Structure 1
Amino acid sequence: EQEPRRAGWAYGTLPGHPECGEESFLVDRTGDGTVWLTVTAFSRPAKWYVRAAGPATRGLQHAYARRCGTTLRKLCADIPQP
């Protein structure tokens, strides 16, 4: 998805991955220059060891989403504001 103030991408897991699911990323830039990153993910365990990890797996996914936001902030810091 590409729009003047919006871009997004998504991916799904491939056969053999420890989890079965999809993740999407949407970056919005508002009229005042504020940037929003929305990460949407859903998954279910596809391997026994992921099921055994239980809630720890969800924590890792949340940490990854936070890292994406931190990276986006760093990238946007160098972009001139309109």
Structure 2
Amino acid sequence: MDLTYPEVGATNGPLPAGYHHVHAVAPIGNGRARFEAAADAVMHWGMQRGAGVLVRADGDIAAVGSEVVVGFGPLRAPCRVVYVLAEDDRRGFAYGTLPGHPESGEELFTVRYDPTTDTVYAEVIAFSRHGTWWSRLGAPITAVAQRIITNRYLSAV
């Protein structure tokens, strides 16, 4: 099954035109130990689960090619992990939308450690556009829902 957008990997650089963009970041603690714990949680779908999102994944850990269906109430949204970040001070993954997802685009979930300030940050970067007629129709509601869930992702780890 192919992804529903052509700009695969674009959450790790300049976000593509023609989409709604999200870039949210929040401090979540201090120290290398806090970073390692948060990074482990992110890689085990912790941002999603901690935000109250249903997660049905084909593996316990996010890995390139992993498929996951995330859900909100009756809505089910299939995605595939398109890349993983495993840097010394930045860890996470991005998934892209698959057919059946109401949106089209990509979302990156990371934590990063700033050794100069000893601060750990949670970060979500995304680009998306409506993928179905009913998501276009519900655009005002989906915009509010996206802001709420993004804030919940940031506080989940």
TM-score class, shorter: 0.7 to 0.9
- 2: CA distance, partners of 1:16 / 1:39: 22
Of the two, which has the highest radius of gyration?
1
Q: Deviations over 1:10-39 (max 9, x none)?
A: 000111211111101221111133111221
Q: Deviations over 1:37-69 (max 9, x none)?
A: 221111111111111112221111111111111
1:58 equivalent in structure 2: 143
The secondary structure found in structure 2 opposite 1:4 is coil
- 1: CA distance, partners of 2:100 / 2:154: 28
1:49 equivalent in structure 2: 134
- 1: CA distance, partners of 2:94 / 2:102: 18
The secondary structure found in structure 2 opposite 1:17 is coil
1:2 equivalent in structure 2: 86
2:154 equivalent in structure 1: 69
User: Is 1:39 aligned to 2:124, yes or no?
Assistant: yes
Q: Which amino acid aligns with 2:141?
A: A
More helix by share: 1
- 1: CA distance, partners of 2:155 / 2:107: 18
- 2: CA distance, partners of 1:52 / 1:37: 31
The secondary structure found in structure 1 opposite 2:147 is helix
Q: What is the count of residue pairs matched by the alignment? A: 72
Return the offset for 1:8. 2.1
Flag the structure with more relative contact order, 1 or 2, with Cα contacts below 8 A and sequence separation at least 6: 2
Structure 2 unaligned regions, length at least 5 = 1-84
- 1: CA distance, partners of 2:144 / 2:125: 14
Aligned Cα root-mean-square deviation (Å): 1.2
Is contact 2:93–2:108 with CA below 8 Å preserved after alignment? yes
Identical pairs, percent: 43
